[in-house]
């Protein structure tokens, strides 16, 4: 994989530091090849996304979802092994995990459901009214700005 030097972008931009760190970590491969638990990211419509994680063997009590500084963190605590069970083969992973997802601005967490070993988290883009496009009325230059009082 080719490595890119993003240093010139760091020097010439202001306020994009989070984006630059994200690009830098993506190009360096700092995820570390973590693949547990597997997940899907779906685009439901223009404003709605769904994150689905395969968390077989975890209950609601073993999972936690937090959001801070535009980072979604999904954590799974390892469950205690049943001491009365002797495994001949153990293919179902039950180890602890922590997954981080960078969220774009104005992304809010909707709801989270755990069903059939799949944790589904709905994310909604909510753009504030001040950021939405608005139409400005154009008046002729000679039009009066207010009502004139006639005597």
Whether 113 shows a pLDDT value over 50: the answer reads yes
Average pLDDT value for residue range 57-80: 90
- Where in the sequence is the domain holding 22, given as residue range(s)? 1-33
Indicate whether 38 and 9 sit together in one domain.
no
**Residue 82 resides in a domain:** yes
21 or 141: which leads in pLDDT: 141
146 or 124: which leads in pLDDT: 124
Average pLDDT value for residue range 42-57: 92
Indicate whether 105 and 40 sit together in one domain.
yes
Indicate whether 48 and 83 sit together in one domain.
yes
Question: How many domains would you assign to the chain?
Answer: 2
Indicate whether 51 and 75 sit together in one domain.
yes
Whether 58 shows a pLDDT value over 70: the answer reads yes
**Residue 135 resides in a domain:** no
**Residue 137 resides in a domain:** no
Indicate whether 63 and 13 sit together in one domain.
no
Indicate whether 115 and 105 sit together in one domain.
yes
Mean pLDDT of the chain: 81
Query: At 101, is the secondary structure helix, strand, or coil?
Result: strand
Could you tell me where the DSSP H helices lie in the chain?
A: 7-11, 17-28
**pLDDT recorded at residue 31:** 52
**pLDDT recorded at residue 128:** 84
Task: Using a cut of 0.85, tell me whether the model's pTM lies above it.
Answer: no
Indicate whether 27 and 43 sit together in one domain.
no
**Residue 144 resides in a domain:** no
Going by pLDDT thresholds of 50, 70 and 90, the confidence category of residue 1 is: low
**Residue 41 resides in a domain:** yes
Beta strands, E only, 1-151: 39-45, 48-54, 63-68, 71-76, 97-102, 107-115, 118-125
**Residue 139 resides in a domain:** no
**Residue 76 resides in a domain:** yes
**pLDDT recorded at residue 33:** 47
Indicate whether 12 and 53 sit together in one domain.
no
53 or 83: which leads in pLDDT: 53
Q: Give the single-character DSSP code of 128.
A: -
Indicate whether 54 and 72 sit together in one domain.
yes
């Amino acid at each position: 994989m080719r490595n890119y030097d993003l240093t010139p972008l760091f020097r010439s931009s202001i306020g994009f530091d989070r984006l630059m760190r994200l690009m830098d970590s993506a190009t360096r491969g700092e995820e570390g090849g973590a693949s547990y638990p597997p997940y899907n990211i779906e685009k439901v419509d223009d404003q709605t996304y769904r994150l689905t994680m395969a968390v077989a063997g975890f209950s609601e009590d073993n999972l936690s979802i937090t959001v801070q500084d535009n980072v979604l963190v999904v954590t799974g605590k390892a469950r205690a092994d049943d001491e009365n069970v002797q495994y001949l083969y153990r293919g179902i992973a039950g180890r602890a995990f922590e997954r981080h997802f960078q969220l774009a601005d104005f992304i809010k967490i909707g709801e989270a459901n755990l069903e059939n070993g799949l944790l589904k988290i709905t994310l909604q883009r909510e753009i504030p009214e001040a950021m939405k496009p608005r139409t400005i009325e154009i008046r002729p230059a000679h039009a009066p700005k207010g009502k004139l009082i006639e005597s």
